[in-house]
Chains A and B, each alone.
Chain A
Amino acid sequence: MLKIENLSKSFGGVAATNDVSVNFPKGSLSAVIGPNGAGKTTFFNLITGAFKPDAGRILLDGEDIAGLSPPEIVRRGIGRAFQIARIFPTMTVREAILCAVQAHTRQHTVMARRFPLAETEDRAAHVMNLVGLTPKAHALSRNLSHGDQKLLDIALALVLEPRVLLLDEPTAGMGPEERWAMIDTVHRMWEQERMTLIFIEHDMSIVFKIAQRITVLSYGRVLAEGTPEEIRRHPEVIKAYLGDEFEAAHA
């Protein structure tokens, strides 16, 4: 599905991503973890075209997408939500999602008709329902709570019917209860939409509970990759990241 081969990117001599190779199987739910500055977000930025890689290949169903622009990559089926929700503050939830739908169906430059296009309404309603924002459809995006803004950000990405969805810390800045509600939503949406989902997360209890596969990054390199069970017992991961207490607690 999504295969990363020898991906590298440096910023002024610092290797943010260094010879990274990972394979994300079709329909899998994978987590990317690692200490701050490990290069997790850079890794997402490379996959989505925000940065151009210095070397390496990004194969989406066999096609190399490395170096394409964000809109081109989006159109090939990779969606993304951001660590800090990036939304459209003056639009209502419904308007923003309808806008995303019409961009996805390549109707966003239509001038002869009025917004919203009737044929985009079903998809928008479906996505709002999927993330649970239907009751807030008419609220201005800037008035939403932090958690709802993150949901809206994810909803915008979902509109594109992505084959691969990248979520950068979906629970960042949330309280414990909100956090699990978000993870339930993410998990439900992964099951319903049958996509390949990759998320970055700092909360290890979440990661080990829902991820099928875990990739550990450290200093831009892949430190380890495997099932939660394998990662939990990986000596280098424990040393570099999880710590001995973690091992004791989860033993």
Chain B
Amino acid sequence: MGGRSSLARDCLIAIVAFLVLAALPYFFPSRGFSDFIVRLAAFGIFATSLNILVGYSGMESFGHGLYFGLGCYTFALIMQRFGVPIPVAFLLTIAVSVVVALAVGAICVNLSEIYFAFLTLAFQMLLHSLIIAWTPITGGDTGLTGGIPRPAFLGIRLDDYYHLYLFSAGLLVVCLLAMHHIVQSPFGYTLRMIRDNASRAPFLGVSVFRLRLMSYVIAGAFGAVGGIIMSLFVSGAFPDFAYWTISGEAIFMIMLGGITVFLGPIVGTAIFLLLNDVVTKLTHHYGIFLGAVILLFALGFRKGVLDFIADRWRDRRQSALTAESRTGTGSAGQEAKSAAAGE
């Protein structure tokens, strides 16, 4: 009621999306395809969580890979060492990420843009150094190898590949649903206020620090879920997952797909992974090609794919509304407006 979309509608879309994802392997039986979806789930959740910061809160974190790496390593370590049920390890991993995000966030979130960007990056590199140095626990630069145990829970057997696929697709859908709900909540709109004008918000009674910290912790927790999926996918954890390039890739993804539309980062992740898969098959000079594509987006479109489409759509709707108010169609105009707002 009244909003752009209701939770009930979102849930319906989520269920349909999950059913479609679940059916896809029957039509595209290749392992490459299902691998793609699992990676899309891991990186898509991760990129979307970064966009809570960049797109909705105006906090350009360069170190979001901290939570991807942390999620990956924490989950793999808990599973290898303690043999607890997967849901327990999952929740413990989220808890660890929340604690770390609270500590790092408390230090970083009130810094001005460039300092925030680089301090978050510094914390990520701290984790990376820790992983490399603390060989007895983390396996150093060879990573956590030897696989992770996957005891069945609730009838889900993650050592079965289709089960892992469904589990990842399910997490993707659930996390997107949850994050969409958060950014459409009163809290999400307060984040937009802070993004738009952080110096005005306090004069309306908003504590900018508190809201930014909440946003940072939420993004960190979801970022860790991406790491958990990756750890299950590769059956371990590797230092690259905590390296700064992971953060850079997530920024590429949201730039490609768009930051003003909720699903932008997912579209960007798909484009990025496809580019990655196709280009690495064709050439070793992957970086040059990717760089050229990024330049095209940055200089050509000046925005991500979905941003571009959304702007076009908004312009059209705006001119339709203006025309309406000029002709002065009272109730008919109102109905059209409600319909446009998805009520």
Residues of A at the B interface (CB closer than 8 Å) are 48, 69-71, 74-75, 79-80, 82, 86-91, 95-96, 98-100, 102-104, 106-118, 121, 135, 138, 156-157, 159-160
Contact = CB atoms under 8 A, between A and B. Distances in A.
B291 interface: no
Interface string B1-21: 111001100000000000000
A84 to B, nearest CB: 11
A101 to B, nearest CB: 9
Interface in B183-199: 184-190, 192-193, 195-197, 199
A69 to B, nearest CB: 7
A87 B190 contact: no
B337 interface: yes
Interface stretch (B92-100, B114-122, B153-161, B206-214): B206-214
Contacts of A104: 204-205
A80 to B, nearest CB: 5
Nearest to B6: A114
Contact of A107 (B186, B188, B196): B186
Contacts of A108: 186-187, 189-190, 205-206, 211
Given A88-B193, A115-B189, A80 B321 contact: no
14 contacts: A71-B202, A71-B205, A86-B197, A86-B200, A90-B196, A91-B193, A102-B186, A108-B190, A110-B186, A111-B186, A113-B186, A114-B1, A116-B2, A138-B337
Contacts of A100: 204
Instruction: Please tell me the size bucket of the interface on B.
Output: 20 to 34
A69 B202 contact: yes
B204 A115 contact: no
Contacts of A70: 202-203
List of 7 A-B pairs having minimum Cβ-Cβ separation, nearest first: A88-B196, A70-B202, A86-B200, A114-B3, A108-B190, A110-B186, A74-B205
Contacts of A69: 202
B142 interface: no
Given A109-B190, A121-B2, A114 B185 contact: yes
Contacts of A107: 186
A59 B161 CA distance: 69
Contacts of A95: 189
B157 to A, nearest CB: 34
Given A99-B190, A114-B185, A88 B200 contact: yes
Interface of B: 1-3, 6-7, 181-182, 184-190, 192-193, 195-197, 199-207, 210-211, 214, 321, 325, 337
Nearest to B194: A88
Contact of A91 (B7, B187, B188, B192): B192
Contacts of A113: 185-186
Contact of A103 (B185, B190, B195, B321): B190
A112 B92 CA distance: 23
Given A86-B197, A86-B199, A116-B2, A71 B184 contact: no
B321 A99 contact: no
Given A109-B186, A121-B2, A90 B192 contact: yes
B187 A110 contact: yes
A48 B321 contact: no
B190 A75 contact: no
Contacts of A88: 192-193, 196-197, 200
A82 to B, nearest CB: 8
Given A109-B211, A114-B6, A114-B184, A159 B204 contact: yes
Contact of B188 (A98, A115, A117): A115
B62 to A, nearest CB: 23
Nearest to B210: A109
A89 B184 contact: no
Nearest to B199: A86
A102 to B, nearest CB: 5
A79 B203 CA distance: 7
A87 B200 CA distance: 7
Nearest to B218: A111
B206 A48 contact: no
A181 to B, nearest CB: 20
B193 A111 contact: no
B192 A103 contact: no
Nearest to A156: B204
Contacts of B6: 114
A79 B200 CA distance: 11
Given A70-B202, A159-B204, A135 B193 contact: no
A71 B182 contact: no
A91 B4 CA distance: 14
A202 B5 CA distance: 47
